[in-house]
Structure 1
Amino acid sequence: MNDDAVLSLEEFLPYRLNRLADAVSREFSQLYRSRYGLTRPEWRLLATLGQYGTMTATAVARHSSMHKTKVSRAVLALEKRRWLTREPDGQDRRTEHLTLTRAGHEAYREMVPVARQFEAKLLAMLTEKDRKSLVAGLAALEGKVIAAG
């Protein structure tokens, strides 16, 4: 068979990016799962609201690239913990504004240094030149692919 007719997944960039992202995400998830018992969607919701403040579930889904049903389940879970509140929109009763409670903010603030340490540990695996190249390459690719999407 001709080499052009074979796709080596191990060398295919989309596969490599996905595999790496999944491995890194799984490793990081051990930290927030062991500390707080959070799922990935719950962590993403907590982190998004911690960073941006009040948002709708639709805005969270768009920002975090999560399906709206995952966001809805995460909202219920964090609401049950009393880490977030929902306020109906004054103009559109179908829309709710999500906000972290004091306890939610506290959990978020506790996780920020953990997340930063995890990121620093990852980046420390690379030389300074490779770190700069990685950050620049990711930014360029995200800018092109996400802008086109």
Structure 2
Amino acid sequence: MADETDLIDLLVAHGASVVTAESLTGGRLAARLTEAPGSSRAFLGGVVTYATEAKMAVLDVPEEIVEKYGVVSEECAREMAEGARRLYGSTYALSATGVAGPDRQEDKPVGTVFVGLAGPEGTEVLSLDLDGDRETIQKSTVAAAVEVLTERLGSAGRDPEDPALG
């Protein structure tokens, strides 16, 4: 399992930066990244857009996306990550949106989570179905976000056909 220090070191090694766009994690992802010593070498900042209106106003999530798919969706996570990347001019952006509980949201069950990763290679969204209470879901989401960017950076520039990678 990747940790924030490994991630910051990888970002620095790649000459890259990262920002966050959070909803259900309420700033936990930014806090986790800044726990790493020297995080200012790669972490530029983040936004917590808990309210739907904030997602649209700050991150430019299109109203059409919200109306068609909702804020707990792959499409919203994608827009949040891409909006944060544009806002800060960073190399990478991580986003998190979902249902931490205790109640369903947009008819989606507790534990439905989407983590977005926008970068020069494009944007991907990880769909998670998490178990646990609110705090557990938030912490698991943060861990997944750190892991997805660490994996992307760890595989950047490697030849997937290289048998040494197996």
Question: Do they superpose with TM above 0.5?
Answer: no
Which structure would you say has the larger Rg? 1
Please identify which structure carries the higher strand content: 2
Please identify which structure carries the higher helix content: 1
Taking structure 2 as the reference length, the TM-score comes to 0.28
Taking structure 1 as the reference length, the TM-score comes to 0.30
Q: Which has the higher contact order (CA 8 A, sep 6+)?
A: 2
